[in-house]
Amino acid sequence: MTNDPHWLFESWLAEAMKQELNDPTAMALATATPDGEPTVRMVLLKGHDARGFVFYTNMDSRKGGELAANPRAALLFHWKSLRRQVRIEGSVGPVSDAEADAYFASRARDSQLGAWASDQSRPLPSRALFEDRYAEVKERFERKKVPRPPRWSGYRVIPDRIEFWSDRPHRLHERRLFVLEADGWSEGLLYP
């Protein structure tokens, strides 16, 4: 057993990368509107270390607006094939420009172009309009490096609670809860 939740997460993620059939880095991201209405969607984990859990998006998207108004979020990883899940709660902050630039540069060119063409989460009058915008962006950056759009970056969820849930027979599950305190992580168990 370890008392370092980041080490334990890395261990579980490594197992998921070997066994989970589709998107082992997929996580549900829950945010809240300024009025406290919860919203949730799936995003992909693009980095993790002792500083937190990183994902990228259009900052003008619905989630970006919600995080600007209320910089707290919850994440959920569910690895069905392993019968495990990890719940994470914490504050949210931006990644550095250097981190965002490096990740954006690693994306497939079509994904880079799509980031320029999309007004993520905004109403779209027709699919044809988006496809036309994509074609215009593709032409604009033909034979050029695609820079990161100014409205596109990453967020880091800085955890203060991490729960590791393991399925057990007869719903007698194991739940390990790590809570960040002034002197580091404390660990306890929760009833199933």
**Catalytic residue positions, numbered:** 171
Q: Please, where are the H alpha helices in 26-96?
A: 62-69
Q: 93 with 86: CB under 8 angstroms?
A: no
Q: Smallest Cα–Cα separation from 38: which of 30, 50, 29?
A: 30
Q: What is the DSSP letter of 169?
A: G
Query: CA-to-CA distance for 92 and 99, rounded, in angstroms?
Result: 15
Query: CA-to-CA distance for 144 and 146, rounded, in angstroms?
Result: 6
Q: 166 with 83: CB under 8 angstroms?
A: yes
Query: Alpha carbon 100 to chain centroid distance?
Result: 14
Query: CA-to-CA distance for 89 and 112, rounded, in angstroms?
Result: 29
